[in-house]
Amino acid sequence: MKSDDAIQSLSALAQPSRLDIFRLLVKAGPDGLAAGTIARRLAIAPNTLSAQLAILAQAGLLDSRREGRSIIYSADFSAMARLLVFLTDDCCGGRPEVCAPLFDLARSCCKPAVKEPIAKEKVR
């Protein structure tokens, strides 16, 4: 990832409505949500939402697809991961303990992504 791309992603997320939108879509998972649903849930005017979605999509953080009259938006998880990698690039500098919080992050994210559905219940 280039610095310009990271700036674009960070700028896209650095706005209250857009951060809410993105986090809502992160929670929604790959299925995503229709623009109208997002507008209703977050109480954002349709035209304002459209502009926000365009900014997030342009930054590569969202995918979109049309389904009937609706346009479904979903978070691009791999783009997200690339951004996080960029931010933490060479974070250790020879001191593995420095980035220990990052491992805690990965572990707290969800149950270890092994093939078997280890835990039935939801994380948190």
Partner DNA sequence: TTCATAGTTCAATATTTCATGAAATATTGA
Partner DNA sequence: TCAATATTTCATGAAATATTGAACTATGAA
Applying CB under 7 A, which residues contact DNA? Answer: 11, 14-18, 34-37, 39, 45-55, 64, 66, 68-71
From residue 64, alpha-carbon distances to 12, 18, 53, 55 in Å are 16, 15, 9, 12
Helices and strands of the chain, counted as H and E runs = 6, 3
Among 36-44, 50-58, 65-73, 92-100, the segment contacting its own copies (CB under 8 A): 92-100
Write out the two tokens for 103.
Answer: 């491992």
Specify the residue, 47 or 108, whose C-beta has the smaller distance to DNA.
47
Specify the residue, 57 or 80, whose C-beta has the smaller distance to DNA.
57
What's the order of all strands across the beta sheet hosting 62-67?
33-34, 70-75, 62-67
Q: Are 88 and 76 in contact (CB under 8 A)?
A: no
Residue 103 interacting partner from its own copies, DNA, none (CB closer than 5 to 8 Å by kind): its own copies
**Contacting residues toward its own copies, per CB under 8 A:** 3-4, 6-7, 10-11, 13-16, 19-20, 22-23, 26-30, 77-78, 80-82, 84-115, 117-120, 122-124
